[in-house]
A and B are shown apart, each in its own frame.
Chain A
Amino acid sequence: VSAAPSAFSDEKGGSASEPEYGHDPASGGIFSSDYKRHDDLKEMLDSNKDSLKLEAMKRIVAMIARGKNASDLFPAVVKNVACKNIEVKKLVYVYLVRYAEEQQDLALLSISTFQRGLKDPNQLIRASALRVLSSIRVTIIVPIMMLAIKEAASDMSPYVRKTAAHAIPKLHSLDPEQKDQLIEVIEKLLADKTTLVAGSVVMAFEEVCPDRIDLIHKNYRKLCNLLIDVEEWGQVVIINMLTRYARTQFLNPNINESLLEENSEKAFYASDDEEEEDKKAEPATLAKRKPYVMDPDHRLLLRNTKPLLQSRNAAVVMAVAQLYFHLAPKAEVGIIAKALVRLMRSHSEVQYVVLQNVATMSIKRRGMFEPYLKSFYIRSTDPTQIKVLKLEVLTNLANETNISTILREFQTYIKSMDKDFVAASIQAIGRCATNIGEVRDTCLNGLVQLLSNRDELVVAESVVVIKKLLQMQPEQHSDIIKHMAKLIDNIQVPMARASILWLIGEYCEHVPKIAPDVLRKMAKSFTNEEDIVKLQIINLAAKLYLTNSKQSKLLTQYVLNLAKYDQNYDIRDRARFIRQLIVPTDKSGALSKYAKKLFLALKPAPVLESPFKDRDHFQLGSLSHLLNAKAAGYQELPNWPESAPDPSVRNVEVKDSVCAERTVLTGPEEVPTRVKCSSRKDRKEKKVEKPFYSDSEGESGPTESADSGNCESDSGSGSASASGSDESGSGSESEESGEETESDEEEEDEEEEKKKRKKLDKTKAKKQAEESAERCTIHTIHQISCIINFDQFDMNKITSVFSQTLAPSGSIKMYELLHRIKGEGLAVEYCFSRQPFSPEPNMVAVQIQFTNNTNSETKNLHIEDPRLQSGMRIREFAEIDVLAAGESVTVVMGIDFCDSTQAANFQLCTHTRKFFVSIQPPVGELMTPAFLTENDFKKEQGKLMGMNEILEKLTLGEKCVNEHVIVERVTATANLSRVPCGSDKECRFAGKTVSSGCLVLVTVTTKEGGGAQLTVNCEKMLIGTMLVKDILQALSQ
């Protein structure tokens, strides 16, 4: 498919400010056929068939990929934005994002589709709608984007929140005015506790408000802790940001050493072992300064980034390496060397960047890379740019001990076929020679030998380097200078010729016979020389004139005359200047007296420095460092503060103290199939005596087992016999787990336990008596409950009764939290007990059962490091000190899921191990029963119409024969209570979400022939949708 931008399309497009990319002259000329082709695409797009549309979109995308203009198709394409076919839709998005900027008005047509998508119950559709909406660069929709981002930022899906974070920089670049509002969103998202969001929001932070370090304080520790689980790209961004952060908040860990360096800088190169020296001088500095203590948060960062050196992603490794280089105490920086050396096995582009950084580091911390010297040896197959960088590193690493090995390597390099590399090697030798006095002569001799090399470039480079070396001790080397003077006849490379001339001029007194002769030759060829050579000829002439005017006076004047008419103004200027200075005339000023001093002053020897010296003022690993120039948007690495800012800004509120409830189970292996009722602590709280009522007890008649009675007694004990139940204490709860199963268990149980049990049985008997009494109370009470405004009562207690009475036996599902094998003998299961969580009424109670299948005690079972979505909270159970071998224990913890089905992740810790676990609630467990009269139900339902109502038709499953089964199924699916209802065709249920207390109303209307209609009314549409799905499934089974 080929199509080119046509004049036609540009006219039509109106705003065709776009240059014609990839204009293809071959096809671009034939406008008519082009026009036809697009016409045919338009036709396909307008057709009803998805396959045709898809084909058209594919061809259009291919055009875009080739850089051809397809903007005239905009109206035809945008129509398909709501297409049902996912691939067509995706390709339309691609098109839209590409051309919306140019066709702003038409692009607006698509906005409503995305707005609708933002409300979709499917999180991925919400996310993708936001993604496209925010990618359309149309200024007019900025407010819509802003609103969408804000909403998405508090979405319950972390994926949508991630997308919101991604959208922030997009909006910011579209309209920087929105910055303040966006910062608010960033602040909110920074508090998010999911790994999915962390990387993206820090990226947004870096782009929108990298200077707002204050936003990081409260999230610092969390970011450090999340880091290892964030995806790789996010890790890079976070690490870079935290490097900057740490530089503003902590003290320089090398503060003592850097002071020391100042003192001992002269001895720096000479000292073999810097560390040793540090130790010697340490006491002195310590006396002056306060001892340095690393901030624990600083340590946290170093500790948590270290494992990432093992990442497969080179960018992550580099990010950690630069963090250590900039932040770690000197003694610890060494660990990064190994990882960096590893990266050199990677692609050559990676090598290139890594070597640049190693080159900079190796100047500051030479010792770090010394053990890896051989890894920087050069292979003939390396690309030249890599060779040159390796050479740089090798030179930086050279010292007295390894110089002989390095020089031997260099000798092989000089024989390479790659001449650029040879030149670089010669320079490297020169640098080694200047840095290490001992080998200067050896190097010089070697270089002089190179002067007879056949390759001119090699010779030239050697000349340049020798010139620099000679400057250090010229007296001893007049024969080398003579040798070089001879070379001037053969060497053509301007830089080398200039260097030789300069040398002869500078040391003309050492070669008094040769120098004038050289000048003679040069005067002859002056006009043909390069500019730098010409300047040096003038220089030489001037110096000879001053030292040996007898022989060179005329020559000098000749040269100056030639220079006077040179084309280059620099040369003309120089000639004029020098003539004034050296040739005595009447007008010659006071300066000419000093001419000799000016020209033949002793010049300091040049220092051969690494081009990477001091590059570390740029943050390593950055683009700016690589280019050695500040790139746009580069964030300067701040200097360490003099005194540490207040560390308490990073303190985060400590989680509420733990509340736990535990019971000891009898059997180690048995998994209770049903939930146990609330426990000791719960009960204690229930001493607060309140009347206890319930309604609709009658409907749960068939499910009313001994067990449910048990529970009633349990929760009801407060009202009836508080003291009695308190007494029944710790052990008795276990019995509640189900009498039917108990008898089986008993047989299997060991003797010891039988004894225990007997005792317990007694209590149980007593209790059951109480229970039956209570049940009666409830029966009577529930009848009057309708009359009473139940707001006055403790709803939680009522609901707990309900959930128990309504939950059919065995319906409470146990979920596995930690498998026996994974947990190394520790098995953990959990269930949603449907009990109110008394310490925090808006938390869902999760009952957790630990079973120790090992032969040894497990100690200190507790929760650590919960990772939760923003807003979610956990109330941990109290630490279990000891769980004996073979024992089980059950505890209850509370989780506020914020009415979302997102998992709560945390670590389960024993005294030896940590296990990552997560608890994800089914939607039905996010609610607690609510008590409504028929009238109230109808009233509330009336308020929750329209968007909040979801209707679904269904066919009841074979077993859903009667009302009873329906009730059972629905209440098993969701923690709802039944609402009395006049019609026998309808079952109504009510509940409210645990966290926010939104009403959830469910109606099942049965029809003839197994059909039914399910209606769910809930303000939280997502909850509603999910609930519908679950109930549908339960009923149609």
Chain B
Amino acid sequence: MPNHPVPVPSSVLAALKNKTIHLSAAKMIHSLFLVNASGDIFLEKHWKSVVSRSVCDYFFEALERATEPENVPPVIPTPHHYLINVLRHRIYFVAVIQSEVPPLFVIEFLHRVVDTFQDYFGVCTEAAIKDNVVVVYELLEEMLDNGFPLATESNILKELIKPPTILRTVVNTITGSTNVGEQLPTGQLSVVPWRRTGVKYTNNEAYFDVIEEIDAIIDKSGSTITAEIQGVIDACVKLTGMPDLTLSFMNPRLLDDVSFHPCVRFKRWEAERILSFIPPDGNFRLLSYHVSSQNLVAIPVYVKHNISFREGSSQGRFELTLGPKQTMGKAVESVLVSSQLPRGVLNANLNPSQGTYTFDPVTKLLSWDVGKINPQKLPSLKGSMSLQAGASKPDENPTINIQFKIQQLAISGLKVNRLDMYGEKYKPFKGIKYMTKAGKFQVRT
């Protein structure tokens, strides 16, 4: 390649001239601060020169201004830096940025960090992070180089830094050995960077969970304002060697919009609607999909409600009945109803026909753990609410949020046709499970 630049056409030169050319400061993530719910910084990591933790004061200001923890703006500009934060597990991950970078880039990365911690420590809490601070540091060191993501694939990280287990901790203390892999990972160099090499199992098994969530808004009268189905296929694959899997559906047309794990061969999907992939080792999300909105969404539960406040009275009436609607003959389980009652409500005196309910007089959150819906005997919650004496009747009506699960059913009707494995000789054990859950399922009253 010649060293001298290719002549630039004059129009481009003109465009370039008008542009201020920055000697851009170092990009991407400069530092990371972890802040707990009470507003203490309990971990900091810098990938470039150190940024004083006083920069977080701007974050704390924003935190104070926000009425709710989740209302802190994800991007906070300060005189010299930009703070981009995400809130997960009641921990704020505050990244310090010095110059232009796509905010989603940072946000997505921070979430990936949290996912990794969760993957490593089971939970991502302040205590877990503090207990494993060295592993956390090693992970952060590998995940970012100079603030730019380096290794974020969990399979690669696990080859670099072994996750702590109780056994290993004990062994390590005795032998003084380490969590750092002796072998440098080959995955990073291979054509399938998401899969570890040299995987071996005595029992070869591959499980796929098709989980669908219904997002819906039901209005006062019980008619559906909006309803859609979002699904995911989560996989747990424990197969020896380099298996090449294909998964096909009976009705792939149902899938309107999909996003894939990088292992899925996109062209194959485009051409044949078959998922063909070399899976990562362990747990991963193979696919997320959205079911075409043309299809009518079956709403598995209905709610009858009568929540009323009378003017001048310090009492309000509360009645709620749940019933199964279109459940394809399957039981609706793990039903949980929650509702944010108006501020004026002091207490609620209710009587559930089944399950238990709680009402928090401070947050005004009512939640009713219903359990399973028995179609013969519909669960109901009835009683009265006491209001602040003398206060006028609240003019807002609470919304009711419902959670439920239906086992062995994908509400969209999606069905896996077959799962095949190539490239390895053994016969794996295969399993597919279906489940439907409520996503953001709201009933307006």
Contacts and interface: CB of A to CB of B under 8 A. Distances in A.
B6 A314 contact: no
A310 B258 contact: yes
A345 B230 contact: yes
Interface string B71-85: 101110100001001
Contacts of A639: 15
Interface string B2-27: 01011011011001100101111111
A632 B442 contact: no
B376 to A, nearest CB: 32
B326 to A, nearest CB: 20
Interface string B192-216: 0100000000000000000000010
B86 A347 contact: yes
B259 A645 contact: no
B41 A233 contact: no
A66 to B, nearest CB: 7
Contact of B5 (A203, A212, A416): A212
Contacts of A58: 134
Given A65-B136, A169-B146, A819-B423, A415 B103 contact: no
Chain B interface size range: 35 or more
A65 B45 contact: yes
A626 B401 contact: no
B399 to A, nearest CB: 4
B262 A90 contact: no
Contacts of B68: 383-384
B433 interface: no
B100 A67 contact: no
Nearest to B12: A248
A211 B16 contact: yes
A86 B180 contact: yes
Given A384-B68, A417-B396, A67 B41 contact: yes
Contacts of B109: 233, 315
Interface string A901-915: 001010000000010
Given A19-B52, A248-B15, A347-B111, A627 B261 contact: no
A87 B71 contact: no
Contact of B176 (A51, A157, A412): A51
B145 interface: yes
Contacts of A948: none
Contacts of B16: 211, 213, 638
Nearest to B138: A90
Contacts of B49: 101, 137
Given A166-B150, A207-B26, A626-B103, A638 B228 contact: no
B429 interface: no
Interface stretch (A466-474, A513-521, A617-625, A837-845): A617-625
Interface stretch (A326-334, A373-381, A757-765): A373-381
A440 to B, nearest CB: 25
B137 interface: yes
Interface string A91-109: 1011000100100000000
A417 B340 contact: yes
Contacts of B6: 214, 217-218, 649
Contacts of B5: 212, 214-215
Given A135-B146, A173-B26, A384-B67, A631 B99 contact: yes
Interface stretch (A263-271, A349-357, A548-556): A349-357
B167 interface: no
A248 B50 CA distance: 37
Nearest to A345: B230
A314 B225 contact: no
Contact of A342 (B1, B8, B290): B290
Q: Is the interface of B mostly helix, strand, loop or mixed?
A: mixed
A354 B105 CA distance: 12
Contacts of B175: 51
Nearest to A229: B191
A78 B343 CA distance: 61
Contacts of A905: 191
A380 B442 contact: yes
Interface stretch (B182-190, B329-337, B405-413): B182-190
B244 interface: yes
Contact of B104 (A187, A353, A420): A353
A187 B3 contact: yes
B440 A379 contact: yes
Contacts of A634: 22, 99-100
Nearest to A631: B100
B257 A342 contact: yes
Interface in A313-367: 313-315, 317-319, 338-339, 341-342, 345, 347-350, 352-354
A15 to B, nearest CB: 14
Contacts of B99: 631-634
A233 B148 contact: yes
B262 to A, nearest CB: 7
B152 interface: yes
Given A315-B108, A646-B9, A21 B52 contact: yes
B258 A67 contact: no
A94 B141 contact: yes
Given A233-B152, A349-B74, A821 B422 contact: yes
A645 B9 contact: yes
Contacts of B27: 169, 203, 206-207, 633
A385 interface: yes
Contacts of B26: 169-170, 173, 207
A426 interface: no
A196 B444 CA distance: 51
Contacts of A454: 392, 395
Chain A interface size range: 35 or more
B104 A819 contact: no
B325 interface: no
B371 to A, nearest CB: 22
A314 B108 contact: yes
* Residue of A66, A124, A319, A380 most packed against chain B (CB within 10 A): A380
B149 A233 contact: yes
* Residue of B24, B104, B111, B258 most packed against chain A (CB within 10 A): B104
Given A62-B133, A87-B180, A381 B148 contact: no
- Going nearest first, the 10 A-B pairs with the smallest beta carbon separation are A51-B176, A633-B99, A87-B178, A645-B9, A124-B184, A633-B24, A374-B226, A87-B180, A233-B149, A349-B74
Interface of B: 1, 3, 5-6, 8-9, 11-12, 15-16, 19, 21-28, 41-46, 48-50, 52-53, 67-68, 70-71, 73-75, 77, 82, 85-88, 97-105, 107-109, 111, 133-134, 136-138, 141, 145-146, 148-150, 152, 175-176, 178-182, 184, 188-189, 191, 193, 215, 217, 219, 225-226, 228, 230, 244, 256-262, 266-267, 270, 285, 288, 290, 340, 342-343, 392, 395-397, 399, 401, 422-423, 440, 442, 444
Given A62-B133, A64-B137, 16 more contacts: A54-B176, A61-B134, A67-B41, A87-B178, A101-B50, A207-B26, A211-B19, A231-B262, A307-B270, A310-B260, A338-B256, A409-B225, A454-B392, A627-B75, A638-B19, A822-B422
Interface of A: 18-19, 21-22, 49-52, 54, 58, 61-62, 64-67, 85-88, 90-91, 93-94, 98, 101, 122-125, 131, 134-135, 137, 157-159, 163, 166-167, 169-170, 173, 176, 184, 187-188, 191, 196, 200, 203, 206-207, 210-215, 217-218, 228, 231-233, 236, 240, 248-249, 307, 310-315, 317-319, 338-339, 341-342, 345, 347-350, 352-354, 374-375, 377, 379-381, 383-385, 409, 412, 415-417, 420, 453-455, 621-624, 626-627, 629, 631-636, 638-639, 641-643, 645-646, 649, 819, 821-822, 903, 905, 914, 916, 918
30 contacts: A22-B44, A98-B50, A158-B189, A166-B150, A176-B23, A187-B1, A207-B27, A212-B5, A218-B1, A218-B6, A307-B270, A312-B261, A315-B107, A318-B104, A349-B87, A353-B74, A353-B104, A354-B104, A409-B225, A412-B219, A454-B392, A621-B104, A623-B82, A623-B97, A623-B101, A624-B100, A632-B100, A638-B16, A645-B11, A916-B191
